[in-house]
Structure 1
Amino acid sequence: MKRFIPNQHGAWSMLVLPFLLGMAASQASFLHIPLFLCWLLIYLFIFPLLQGVKTRRFDRYAPPLKVYGLLLLPFAAYLMAAEPKLLWFALPALPLFAVNLYYARTKNERALLNDIAGILLFCLMVFPVFYIGGGTDRGMAAEFFILALLYFVGTALYVKTIIREKNNPRYYYASVIYHSLFVLAGVVLFPSLTVPLLILLARAASLPRTKITAKQTGIMEIGFSVMLYLSVIVLL
């Protein structure tokens, strides 16, 4: 099942939060259902694809690629028939995915630049969701995109202080400084979200000094994402 189900718990937040923020900036639509299913299947398809590129063992990852590819095709075809303009939203994702392919090929997928490329790819989902929902306030969509981007870049830094760079003080201080600047930027861009951003800063400063595990970190990030989304809905 490890070939079929991604083991990166925090990635589920990146899959869902930008989608929900795009809906928050527009209106719910029936097309959001096939769009989300298509988005989910793309993620489930890309995961074994990158693993195959990394390991050069496409025979091992052929079953999930076939399953998710076959499930993806009808949803993608339906969306292209219903909203052909959605194809334009996929174009910015191509160079970002090329970056992910490169780092998978070089077996350096934990590089920060690769993380940022993946985060950008996930966060861009705000815009097709906004379009499908008939949103009219493009400024709000852009603000939600920026919020998601800043949040997940900070999360990438924070997670490294617990896993890959847990003994590297430079990453810890970079994470804390980044989250401090995030709070300051939030005072200007998202003043209503000051308290949630302070909570994220406290998490970045305190949790790496505990014995929290990678799995616990990923699960907790789902909770922090829910906190941020509810804060947007209630306070913005």
Structure 2
Amino acid sequence: MLILPFLLGMAASRALFLHIPLFICWLLIYLFIFQLLQGVRTRRFDRILKPLQVYGLLLLPFIIYLVVVEPRLLWFALLALPLFAVNLYYARTKNERALLNDISGILLFCLMLFPVFYIGGGTNWETAAELFILAFLYFAGTALYVKTIIREKNNPQYYYASVIYHCLFLLTGILIFPSLVFPLLILLARAAGLPRTKITAKRTGMLEIVFSVMLYISVIVLYF
């Protein structure tokens, strides 16, 4: 989720030098927020104060540089604040594994596609919107599918919800990005077949890297 929307935003525009400090900034923001949410959840800020200080000090010059070079990036940051507030709420209530919290986090990560697209001088915002929808639907389906293997593996309702979701994802793909029907069929087969095997959580995570790469290559080869 950290990398794929970023790469899709670059694919829809142009890869420029400014994307390098933007990605470093994005990575440091992720690391900073991860520690912050851990502190909110545990109420033990003394344990995460040092990494917060380190990531914050590393992050500050990149934020200043990007805001000076591209002040409009602040508007994209403002869009992310309500979603971050949702994550803070679920961390505070120690319910971070709630599906709504997952969806909020996915939206937050996928929104990164737009500033990357803007930085790259992209002009076709319709294409950027379609890729945002694709990334969001993919990761939302992945969140549901992973639950059928780990925490909800004995819950048939989650399994059927995941399969139905991926069927709807496929139908949406036929309407919005018909060139990507084949990889979406593979994702449907993944959701329907793998939970019925004895696949481990570790192998599931490793395979998700493969599926993400497959989707990215499919966009580059088939979509554009």
Fold match (TM-score > 0.5): yes
Q: Which residue, out of 146, 153, 158, partners 2:133?
A: 146
Q: Which amino acid in structure 2 is aligned with residue 162 of structure 1?
A: I
Shift of 1:215: 2.1
Q: Which residue, out of 8, 18, 29, partners 1:31?
A: 18
Q: Which residue, out of 131, 134, 138, partners 2:121?
A: 134
CA distance in 2, matches of 1:209, 1:216: 14
TM-score (norm 2): 0.98
TM-score (norm 1): 0.93
Q: Could you report, residue by residue, the CA deviation over 1:144-165 in whole angstroms, capped at 9, with x for unpaired residues?
A: 0000011011001001111111
Ranked by relative contact order (alpha carbons within 8 Å, sequence separation 6 or more), the top structure is 1
* Structure 2 residue ranges without an equivalent (≥5): none
- Secondary structure, in 3 states, of the residue corresponding to 2:2? helix
Q: Please state if 1:82 is matched with 2:79.
A: no
Q: Please state if 1:190 is matched with 2:177.
A: yes
Shift of 1:218: 1.6
- Secondary structure, in 3 states, of the residue corresponding to 1:108? coil
- Secondary structure, in 3 states, of the residue corresponding to 1:15? coil
In the other structure, the counterpart of 2:199 is 212
Q: Please state if 1:58 is matched with 2:58.
A: no
CA distance in 1, matches of 2:32, 2:69: 22
Q: Which amino acid in structure 1 is aligned with residue 36 of structure 2?
A: L
CA distance in 1, matches of 2:32, 2:54: 8
The root-mean-square deviation of aligned C-alpha atoms, in Å, is 0.8
CA distance in 2, matches of 1:113, 1:98: 12
In the other structure, the counterpart of 2:91 is 104
- Secondary structure, in 3 states, of the residue corresponding to 1:166? coil
Q: Which amino acid in structure 1 is aligned with residue 138 of structure 2?
A: Y
- Secondary structure, in 3 states, of the residue corresponding to 1:84? coil
Q: How many residues align?
A: 223
CA distance in 1, matches of 2:38, 2:205: 20
Q: Could you report, residue by residue, the CA deviation over 1:71-111 in whole angstroms, capped at 9, with x for unpaired residues?
A: 11111110011101100001110000000000000000000
Q: Which amino acid in structure 1 is aligned with residue 65 of structure 2?
A: Y
CA distance in 1, matches of 2:203, 2:37: 24
In the other structure, the counterpart of 2:222 is 235
CA distance in 2, matches of 1:211, 1:18: 30
Q: Which amino acid in structure 1 is aligned with residue 31 of structure 2?
A: L
Shift of 1:52: 0.8
Q: Which amino acid in structure 2 is aligned with residue 120 of structure 1?
A: L
CA distance in 2, matches of 1:58, 1:219: 32
Q: Could you report, residue by residue, the CA deviation over 1:115-153 in whole angstroms, capped at 9, with x for unpaired residues?
A: 000000000011000000000101000000000011011
Q: Which amino acid in structure 1 is aligned with residue 209 of structure 2?
A: I
Shift of 1:63: 2.1
Q: Could you report, residue by residue, the CA deviation over 1:23-71 in whole angstroms, capped at 9, with x for unpaired residues?
A: 1110111110000000000111111111111111111112221111111
CA distance in 2, matches of 1:16, 1:167: 31
List structure 1 segments (4+ residues) > 2 angstroms apart after TM superposition: none
Amino-acid identity (%): 81
